[in-house]
Each structure stands twice: as C-alpha cells, then as structure tokens.
Amino acid sequence: MSALESANKIKAKFGDLISEPTEFRGEITLKLADAEKIFDLCHFAKRSLGFDYLVDICSVDNYGEDPRWTVIYHLRGVANGQDLRIKTDVTEEKSELPSVLPIWRTANWHEREVYDLMGIRFSGHPDLRRILMWEGYPYHPLRKDFPLAGKPTDLPGVAFTKVTPMEGGPFVTLPSSSDSIAREPRVRTPEGAEPGISDQRLVGGKLK
C-alpha cells in the first residue's frame, strides 16, 4: 500500500474532518480540521495502516493569524517504507492537543519540546515538563513574538538573570554577503561593541 492509498483510507474513515491528500516532491500531507481528533487519527494510522514510527512532532507559529499554531506529525511505516505527514491547527485560546504518547513512546520528548519552546500543552502526557529551558522559565523561545536577543529574566536561585538565551542573542546569519564565511551563523555583537571569538573568522589558519 502506498502512502497515498493510506491517506485515502484515512480520508474515507474521517470524512470531512480530513482534507484531500496533497503531494509535494513525493511526500503526502493530510490536514485534520478538528485537533481533538488527532489521537483517533494517529491510532488508526498505526493500528490499521502500519505507521509504527512517529519520526517527529514539530510546530509552526502563525503569529498574527488565527489559529495561531500548526502542529505537524511525521509518521513512517518501517516495514513498508511509507511516510505520511499530518497537520492540524491549534488556537491560542485552546493551546492544547491530546497526547499521542500512548500510541508511540517517541512522542514523549517531541511533545515536551513543543510544549517547552512553543507553549502548546498535551493533555494526558504523564510527564509534561520543560526539556530545554529550566522549570520556572516564563517564556516560550520559539514563538515569533520572542525577540532574537532574548528577554531579561529575574529569577534568582533558579537560573542566571542576564538576557537569555545567551548574552548578545542567539546565533544568526546575515541575509546576504560576498562569501559563505561571512554568512556563517555566529553571535552578532551590537554596533561598536568589542567582538568576541565567535564574531571573528578563521583566515589562513589565523583568527581575523
């Protein structure tokens, strides 16, 4: 059975809740209209169609739009070598999805990462805590309204109080330049500031 045939079986079972399958570069994607049904859809995909491996769960912040987020599930059938992508939207008001951890154990860290960095919760997850940021951190750094240079945090005894995620901001790349070395991601210091080693580049075996 091909991925497209599997997608059509999902469409037949869930009817109008599922979009028509779309194909791009050989990859099949379905859109689920009701996020509350994601557990039922994933259970069917594994038990009836052989998608026994959850490769990843990722999320997109549609900041300024409603629904605010799109959550994407990447499924794979190890035996048949088929891949399928499932998308569903999550509103800022709800900001929650059913956990698929009872279906695939790999959902554990994926759901924790989405919760940590985007703020989407997964109901039924037995251990939904932050996986990268520390407990008590008040922000979700992958949201588009989170600034590149981080935000000041004032949590003494929990973590450092400087601008996070790192002083001077995260690694960024320039949109265009004369060569790939100049575009290489690094910490960019403010104009006029003394550059650190990460702002320098290696030329002829020496830092410039």
pLDDT of 189 reads: 56
What 3-state DSSP class applies to 183?
helix
- The secondary element (H helix, E strand) that includes residue 56 is strand 53-61
The number of helices, as runs of H, and strands, as runs of E, in the chain is: 4, 9
Question: Mind listing the pLDDT tens digit for each residue in 26-42?
Answer: 899 999 999 999 999 99
Give the domains, in start order, of the chain with CATH numbers. 1-132 (3.30.460.80)
Question: Mind listing the pLDDT tens digit for each residue in 156-181?
Answer: 555 554 554 444 445 555 666 566 66
pLDDT of 202 reads: 39
The Cα 9–Cα 83 span in angstroms is: 14
Q: Which residues contact 106 (CB under 8 A, 6 or more apart)?
A: 53, 54, 55
pLDDT of 108 reads: 97
Between strands 27-32 and 82-90, the pairing is parallel
What mean pLDDT is reported for the chain? 83
Determine the average pLDDT of the residues in 50-74: 96
Question: Mind listing the pLDDT tens digit for each residue in 66-118?
Answer: 999 999 999 999 999 999 999 999 999 999 999 999 999 999 999 999 999 99
pTM: 0.74
